[in-house]
Structure 1
């Protein structure tokens, strides 16, 4: 099975499905290979590498959430760092002030962020395109300052932030804290990924895509545009909140300056590099925003920003459609190889 087997070019007169059966997914064979790699690699590497892989999954979740919003419903957002921050602080506060189990804080963070995103989507209904991006940009810019307010300092720790206790493996399992948290994050990531794929294949997913392709036509077909646009915002924010909660547990610390607009731009960049609308590309985009800055710094510490910019320019110039374009080309080459 190929990495992009959902991409088929219809012949003349052939009907095109509104939502392909394998839309936005990897082939079964490729999925099993990727899953096996994610399960086995931590067994042979050091804890620092395991921590990086955990962050890869966490940022991959956040990029996936943005992909649902932008690639699924066509709404641009530069405010994902705000939802990420709310999720992170929710988990941190519940763990440190309420003594709640870390696993139980994640669904609560997701629900709170879903409500936050849904409510934010209500006034944003009047906006689209660049203006919606600016509104979400304002949200991301304001969030770190709100978290520093003295009114919330008892709960948030103010400028100093909160220290979060990293959990041990349960049931006496012979796993380090980093390894246990990695596998826990992997299970959460797989569950959300499968749920996201099923969502985009469902009636709601078809409504999202109809709005993305032509909002007026979708409304004429009976789609409740206002409901589904706000629902897309809520779902995206909810998944981002879960990612934020996992990030707080993994890093063991939350502080306002860790959730600036730079994080939002990085997530947006990860979505573009991974391929807008292609959910498996979320991991590729996450890897880009985590590892490429380190590679750029290794090339030139003094000019790391310039090197990163050049690398990003090359990626956008060579593969403007991101990782999905690479997967399509690989599929075509594999098909030619089989024929020969």
Structure 2
């Protein structure tokens, strides 16, 4: 399956922007851009499962936690360098997703959503369990070491710009490298025979089975791949924030991923980037507007969530196919007028 020209162009434009950003920004701004990329990767994981395979999940915050705590435990308990924890977190997350996907094969639609919802609700409580608190830190969480750039990277930075890289700028560069690699792999996956099998199962499971596709294996594999992407995002989250606690992986995080996927475009790679920006910036923007309205509202409690809900309704109404779908429609209309 070849991606639409518009989406391929947006992806390459996005990659160019990712490369250029560290030149102009540093500090908290570049940290926020890194968070967008991290959320984009988590949303992409859900998009692979829901958009390209037709399985619905409300529990991807659990796999986000698996990746994050794998990185944290490897760093703090075993002294593994932060960069080396990424592939290990990916492997653990893939295994967790694949194993969860096997029994979930008996469930579809709302029943699968309910099972994944239960997983999301249970995860923070499991992380607080005293029996594993020596690994997870329990309710206190885990404080991680700062991910300083390697010496050779600093040497290159000094030679090029005359100054060493700041930690925030290096976090962004490291996150961008991982995210770009994962997006390229996702594009190749969707275009491969495996990706076409995922899509065939989504479109018509019976026809896919008739064509010789093993629905059970491919659906479980897709669950594993989806969990792997979200787990790698969780690993980057741990490295960027340098602190983990069970409250970071509540059901609200799973809803964030779902919102990002729907607003960006549920079967779109570029849409994951737009969704990542939406889930990071729109809540903050809603808080700002809510503070401005507090002087005119008698009971401002919960006003921020009201504003956020209105933004979400507006986005879904204006972009029923997500941001990518809206861009494709506009491009087609411009082409017709010409």
TM-score where L is the length of structure 2? 0.91
| SS of corresponding position for 2:52 | helix
Question: For residues 12 and 262 of structure 2, what CA distance do their matches in structure 1 show?
Answer: 25
Alignment of 1:212-227 (within 5 A): 212-227=202-217
Looking at structure 2, the residues matched to 142 and 25 of structure 1 have their Cα atoms a distance apart, in angstroms, of: 40
1:182-234 C-alpha deviation (Å, 9 max, x unpaired): 11111111111011111111111111001100111111111100000000000
2:243 pairs with 1:263: no
The 3-state SS of whatever aligns with 2:22 is helix
Kindly provide the CA deviation profile for residues 301-338 of structure 1, in whole angstroms up to 9, marking residues without a partner as x. Answer: 3411100001110111111111122211231244246x
1:168 is paired with a residue of what secondary structure? coil
Q: 1:31 to 1:285 in 2, by over 3 A?
A: closer
- Uncovered stretches (5+) of structure 1, i.e. residues with no partner: 1-18
**Could you say which residue in structure 2 is the equivalent of 1:26?**
7
Give the alignment partner of residue 245 of structure 1, picking from 223, 235, 238. Answer: 235
Correspondence 1:181-196 to 2 at 5 A: 181-196=171-186
For 1:156 and 1:56, locate their aligned partners in 2 and report how far apart those are by CA, in whole Å.
26
Q: How does 1:1-340 map to 2 (within 5 A)?
A: 19=1, 21-23=2-4, 26-28=7-9, 30-170=10-150, 171=152, 172=154, 173=157, 174-301=164-291, 302=300, 303-336=303-336, 339=338
| Aligned match of 1:7 | none
Aligned to 1:3: none
Distance in 1 (alpha carbons) for counterparts of 2:280 and 2:251: 16
Contact between 2:26 and 2:168, CA under 8 Å: does it hold in 1? no
> Secondary structure of the residue that 2:105 maps to in structure 1?
helix
Q: State the distance in 1 between where 2:8 and 2:91 align.
A: 31
CA pair 299-272 structure 1, distance change in 2 beyond 3 A: same
Is the CA contact 1:25–1:278 (under 8 Å) kept in the aligned structure 2? no
User: How far apart, CA to CA, are the structure 1 residues paired with 2:187 and 2:5?
Assistant: 7
Q: Could you tell me whether the CA contact under 8 Å between 2:15 and 2:180 is conserved in 1? A: no
Shift of 1:23: 4.7
CA change 1:188–1:24 in 2 (3 A) is: farther
